[in-house]
Chain A
Amino acid sequence: MNGIGNTTAQRRSVLANVAIYGFLGAVVLLALAPTAWVMLSSFKTGNQIFSGNGFWPSPFTFQGFIDAFTQIQLHEYMLNTLLYAGFGTVGALGAAFLAAYPLARFSFRGRNALVALFSLALALPLVGLATPVFFVVRELGMFDSRLGMVIFYSALQFPFTFVVLRSFLVSTPPELEEAAMIDGAGYFTTLFRIVLPLTRPALATVAVVAFVNIWNEFFFANLLLVSEENRNVQLVLAGFKSEFGFNVTGAVAGATLVMMVPICLFLILQRQVIAGLTAGAVK
């Protein structure tokens, strides 16, 4: 039976195949044509982009990519964003791992309340907190500071990271740790020698998702950063739009490069990305 289940349908009528591929083809076209067109445009000249003539680049040029680095200094903003995403991910993972372990393994007063509180943050539309976040960050002297941004992004990715790591630990049997503790290993020895290696797959999963989330973050970067030299790539992309006339080739090529970072990460680590998102969603 060629049902909806997991059977690989061997024979399907020509008509059914036409319907299936027609539908999927239309969806792929709608979902990707604008993006593919912009990516192709990064090999076009400014004249061709402005005239809107032709789908394919003609003449073909790398000038846009050269402009992105020489005129827009994209590498500097990419470095900033790499710093935010890299250290922000490490911060979130560290704090979440340290919190997830006791909240998965030990029972103490207030444990459930704490778990509920951390998880609830996942269900809040955080843009509602914009002004208070700005106020707190400013009062802490972290406004428009790179270190401040790293700390803030660690906090922003903490709830998601925590929820996934904790549910991973809850579903892992505690025997190894118990054996280690009986052998006299202390809390942190057990945590780092036994639990950490076991948690590695879950850590890899949440790390990719947190990294991509921070790489793509615009709202709070726009709220908490002002200096040119602290900006992340998303702020630069938003700037392109408002100054569309100026260096369009560099803008389009730059946007393509900025998009390619999460796309490549996803293509390489597809399994981790999907596992991470699904785990975060279903919990």
Chain B
Amino acid sequence: MRGPIAVSLLPGLVLFGTFFMVPFLVLTGTAFARWSGLDFAWVGIDNYQKMFQDPVFFKAMANTLFYAAASVFIQVPLGIGVGLVLALRPRGWKTLRTIIFVPFVISGAAYALIFSMFYNPRAGLLNNALGALGLPGNRDWLFDTATARWAVAGTFVFIIGFVVVLVMAEIASIPNELYEAASVDGATTWQQLTRITLPLLRNVIGTAILIRLLVDIGMFDLVFILTAGGPDDATATLALYAYRAYLNGEWGYANAVGSVIIVIGLVLIVTVRRVFRIGERTL
């Protein structure tokens, strides 16, 4: 069986080796070098020193964490709430679930176009709707430093379909007997929610947060297309910051930033797995 197994593994190994392993090794090596693709020189930890002295890097880091926080504290709780409500199976719940999932399959580039129109100070839906309500409109939401980050977060915090689906699938797997026993014992609906449902959703809530954090840590498309990081880097992310270095031919520096992105990703993953004890079953 050894021969056929090796042949069988080969295509996957080649693809994975070429496009994941080799880039990963290149990244770890060149993060300690000055490199433009042509010339190469070891510089030790210079790239990291430069990074930690650049205020733009910290701005990009703060923005990235801001988007991650928007996901964890707005998007995921909203998704859980909708999932819980839909699990009550109000009339039309299947259709509503489908409708709420649709934004999830729309691309970042399409969202960028949608929201560049939506936030447009002159012809955008947001300002027109605010104007119609008699509220002050005509604000350039995306290019005003006071609102830019919130405007960008507003493009994705309502994409909750994925969380909703995960939560509903998990609720469907909770045995009904638990609720029956609880109500026999006189537990109120609220107590059933907080004592039975939410604790049993721990795993899936952690998973939803993990998946979202991974997207946020690498957030690029929306910001790159919508604002290019502006105004005054108020919306720039770490991925965009690394991309700028790449465009400048500072490949070693871009890779040092890339390594920070990957390390932050790993730290967040380990933390969330710990906090939510993902993988451990409660039943």
- Is A270 part of the binding interface, using a Cβ–Cβ cutoff of 8 Å? yes
- Is B214 part of the binding interface, using a Cβ–Cβ cutoff of 8 Å? yes
Q: Please, how many angstroms separate the alpha-carbon atoms of A22 and B136 in the complex?
A: 26
B125 in contact with A37 (CB, 8 Å): yes
B165 in contact with A234 (CB, 8 Å): no
Q: Please, how many angstroms separate the alpha-carbon atoms of A216 and B103 in the complex?
A: 12
- Is B130 part of the binding interface, using a Cβ–Cβ cutoff of 8 Å? no
Known A27-B82, A131-B254, A237-B112; contact A191-B246, beta-carbon cutoff 8 A: no
A240 in contact with B113 (CB, 8 Å): yes
Query: Can you list, as one digit per residue, whether each of B10-27 has a CB less than 8 Å from chain A (1) or not (0)?
Result: 111101101110111011
Inside 8 A of B197's CB, which chain A residues have their CB?
A: 4
- Is A129 part of the binding interface, using a Cβ–Cβ cutoff of 8 Å? yes
Inside 8 A of A216's CB, which chain B residues have their CB?
A: 105-110
Q: Please, how many angstroms separate the alpha-carbon atoms of A154 and B19 in the complex?
A: 10
- Is A188 part of the binding interface, using a Cβ–Cβ cutoff of 8 Å? yes
B214 in contact with A132 (CB, 8 Å): no
Q: Is the interface of A mostly helix, strand, loop or mixed?
A: helix
Inside 8 A of A6's CB, which chain B residues have their CB?
A: 87, 89, 171-172, 174, 176
A136 in contact with B23 (CB, 8 Å): yes
- A244 CB to closest chain B CB, in angstroms? 7
A129, closest chain B residue (CB): B23
B14, closest chain A residue (CB): A95
Inside 8 A of B128's CB, which chain A residues have their CB?
A: 52
B207 in contact with A128 (CB, 8 Å): no
Q: Within residues 148 to 202 of chain B, which ones have a CB less than 8 A from any CB in chain A?
A: 158-162, 165-166, 169, 171-172, 174, 176, 178-180, 182-183, 189, 192-193, 196-197
Residues of chain A at interface, number, CB under 8 A: 106
- Is A164 part of the binding interface, using a Cβ–Cβ cutoff of 8 Å? no
- B171 CB to closest chain A CB, in angstroms? 7
- Is A180 part of the binding interface, using a Cβ–Cβ cutoff of 8 Å? no
Inside 8 A of A118's CB, which chain B residues have their CB?
A: 12, 16
- Is A14 part of the binding interface, using a Cβ–Cβ cutoff of 8 Å? no
Query: Can you list, as one digit per residue, whether each of B87-119 has a CB less than 8 Å from chain A (1) or not (0)?
Result: 111100000101111110111111011111110
Inside 8 A of B196's CB, which chain A residues have their CB?
A: 4
- B141 CB to closest chain A CB, in angstroms? 12
- A123 CB to closest chain B CB, in angstroms? 6
A3 in contact with B26 (CB, 8 Å): no
A35 in contact with B107 (CB, 8 Å): no
B16 in contact with A158 (CB, 8 Å): yes
A124 in contact with B12 (CB, 8 Å): no
| Choice from B15, B159, B166, B192 contacting A31 with Cβ under 8 Å | B159
- Is B84 part of the binding interface, using a Cβ–Cβ cutoff of 8 Å? yes
- Is B43 part of the binding interface, using a Cβ–Cβ cutoff of 8 Å? no
B123 in contact with A49 (CB, 8 Å): yes
Residues of chain B at interface, number, CB under 8 A: 111
Query: Can you list, as one digit per residue, whether each of B71-86 has a CB less than 8 Å from chain A (1) or not (0)?
Result: 0000000100110111
Q: Please, how many angstroms separate the alpha-carbon atoms of A274 and B166 in the complex?
A: 9
Inside 8 A of A272's CB, which chain B residues have their CB?
A: none
- Is A246 part of the binding interface, using a Cβ–Cβ cutoff of 8 Å? no
- B169 CB to closest chain A CB, in angstroms? 6
B169 in contact with A3 (CB, 8 Å): no
A237 in contact with B109 (CB, 8 Å): yes
B117, closest chain A residue (CB): A38
A34 in contact with B125 (CB, 8 Å): yes
- Is B230 part of the binding interface, using a Cβ–Cβ cutoff of 8 Å? no
Known A134-B246, A140-B18; contact A128-B8, beta-carbon cutoff 8 A: no
Inside 8 A of B88's CB, which chain A residues have their CB?
A: 2, 4, 9, 12, 20
Q: Within residues 228 to 247 of chain A, which ones have a CB less than 8 A from any CB in chain B?
A: 234-235, 237-238, 240-242, 244
B221 in contact with A218 (CB, 8 Å): yes
Q: Please, how many angstroms separate the alpha-carbon atoms of A96 and B124 in the complex?
A: 45
- Is B146 part of the binding interface, using a Cβ–Cβ cutoff of 8 Å? no
A99 in contact with B11 (CB, 8 Å): yes
Known A27-B158, A156-B19; contact A4-B179, beta-carbon cutoff 8 A: yes
| Choice from A12, A217, A278 contacting B166 with Cβ under 8 Å | A278
| Choice from A212, A238, A244 contacting B105 with Cβ under 8 Å | A212
Q: Please, how many angstroms separate the alpha-carbon atoms of A217 and B20 in the complex?
A: 17
B113 in contact with A255 (CB, 8 Å): yes
- A155 CB to closest chain B CB, in angstroms? 4
Known A125-B261, A155-B20; contact A32-B99, beta-carbon cutoff 8 A: yes
A99, closest chain B residue (CB): B12
A234 in contact with B19 (CB, 8 Å): no
Shortest 7 CB-CB distances between A and B: which pairs?
A: A52-B123, A99-B12, A216-B107, A132-B23, A187-B4, A125-B218, A128-B258
Known: A125-B239, A132-B24, A282-B166. 6 other contacts (CB 8 A): A37-B125, A131-B246, A135-B37, A140-B18, A237-B112, A241-B225
